[in-house]
Structure 1
Amino acid sequence: MNKSISKATPLRGPADHNVRTQIVEAAEEHFSHYGYEKTTVSDLAKSIGFSKAYIYKFFESKQAIGEVICGNCLNSIITGVKDEVEKASSPSIKFRHFFKKMVASSVELFFQDRKLYEIAAFAASENWAPTISYGKEVKQIIETLVREGRETGEFERKTPIDETVDAIYLVMRPFINPLLLQYNLDLAEEAPSLLSALVLRSLAP
């Protein structure tokens, strides 16, 4: 079934970042305990001591709050991955670190905070804006690594770079997409090294 792609939910109402943060933190706590689908805006309002109408001055829907939480979670993964990649000395090693860290961070989220992981999986199934941005960020990292590898002579240059990036992303997707990873957890430990080796062999000049 085709899912409609959601656009980034615009901020609304007063630009009081402290109140927004308070709402998001309360929502994250509720989602962690009860799950995204079982938590209502009324539940959040009661926990904070606000009226439901007041929350709607800041967020137009429960999904809008969920998108902020999901975005923060996925952004933290990307930040950690970029830091890990920077430690490596060559494009090949960077790619290995990149794949391994991506999978490890996703698995860690799955086991440490299952309810928040479920938000990310739900967001992926509904094509929420943060998950679309997440996919673009991952592809951008891949493209950067491929370009660097071509410049240093480690990787072949004949294949169009967009095809190369898309192919690598598809190889990684079952282990980094929140919706798909839950079905591949039994392979998550060995997949990064095996698939990285396969991809790197295909990139060899």
Structure 2
Amino acid sequence: MNNATSSPPAARGPADHEVRAQIVVAATEHFSQYGYEKTTVSDLAKAIGFSKAYIYKFFESKQAIGEMICSNCLREIEADIRAAVDGVDRPPEKLRRMFKAIVDSGLRLFFQDRKLYEIAISAASERWPSAIAHEECIRQMLLELLRQGRESGDFERKTPIDETAAAIYLVMHPYINPVILQLSSHYTGQAPAQLSGLVLRSLSP
């Protein structure tokens, strides 16, 4: 599969500085307990034991810290999706697995840590770079899967592939976007199988 992935935003200070990682770990724990929206950089500095000015040497804002945490979570989701897709050979089954992994990974983040999920909601609502990169990663994975299906003869070739990928992405989008996912939780049990089945029938050559 395509190795596109969401990338963390650029941050201040040396990229490999252990203090940056320490801040991210502490911020993840703090946001998990108190929530992202209710926490200020001053709150975070006090909890970590650093000065606010020192934190700003590594991150230009609270959002920059949230971006790093969000990128870490989204990379886990992308890895889950890629592992599910790469675990089978035939493109139709890959597509079924992709639908299911998108839903399962989003729900895992949603239910395991509701307050960290708030960061993903902020990222999607405010169009943070990490959320945009994540969406592009999913699109590229989908596009590669469609190419494989066309090459194997499993998928039709008449429709422009970009148009096909865009349409399928719109079907997936309610389960990719955390804002919509929380409103669609009543349908997540049957949605992956039903939607992937419908899409696969439309892709039949």
TM-score range, shorter chain: over 0.9
- Following the alignment from structure 2 to structure 1, what is the Cα–Cα distance between the partners of residues 16 and 75? 22
- Corresponding residue number in structure 1 for 2:11: 11
The letter for the 2-side match of 1:194 is Q
Residue 14 of structure 1: how far off its partner (Å):
4.2
- Following the alignment from structure 1 to structure 2, what is the Cα–Cα distance between the partners of residues 10 and 92? 37
The letter for the 2-side match of 1:33 is Q
The letter for the 2-side match of 1:152 is S
The letter for the 1-side match of 2:126 is E
Contact 1:27-1:44 at 8 Å conserved across structures: yes
Aligned 1:1-205 pairs, distance under 5 A: 9-15=9-15, 17-205=17-205
- Following the alignment from structure 2 to structure 1, what is the Cα–Cα distance between the partners of residues 49 and 108? 33
Contact 1:142-1:165 at 8 Å conserved across structures: yes
What TM-score comes out, normalization by structure 2 length?
Answer: 0.94
Contact 1:14-1:57 at 8 Å conserved across structures: no
Residue 10 of structure 1: how far off its partner (Å):
2.8
The aligned length equals 198
SS at match of 2:121: helix
Provide, for residues 7-58 of structure 1, a one-character-per-residue CA deviation record: whole Å limited to 9, x for no partner. Answer: x743213445210011111111111111111111111111221110000000
Gaps of 5+ in 2: 1-7
Provide, for residues 117-167 of structure 1, a one-character-per-residue CA deviation record: whole Å limited to 9, x for no partner. Answer: 111011100000010000001001110110000000000001111100100
Residue 176 of structure 1: how far off its partner (Å):
1.7
What TM-score comes out, normalization by structure 1 length?
Answer: 0.94
- Following the alignment from structure 1 to structure 2, what is the Cα–Cα distance between the partners of residues 10 and 139? 23
- Following the alignment from structure 1 to structure 2, what is the Cα–Cα distance between the partners of residues 16 and 203? 45
Runs of 4+ in 1 over 4 A off after TM superposition: none
Contact 1:124-1:178 at 8 Å conserved across structures: yes
Q: RMSD of aligned C-alpha atoms? A: 1.1
- Following the alignment from structure 1 to structure 2, what is the Cα–Cα distance between the partners of residues 128 and 151? 35
- Following the alignment from structure 2 to structure 1, what is the Cα–Cα distance between the partners of residues 132 and 102? 16
Contact 2:9-2:130 at 8 Å conserved across structures: no
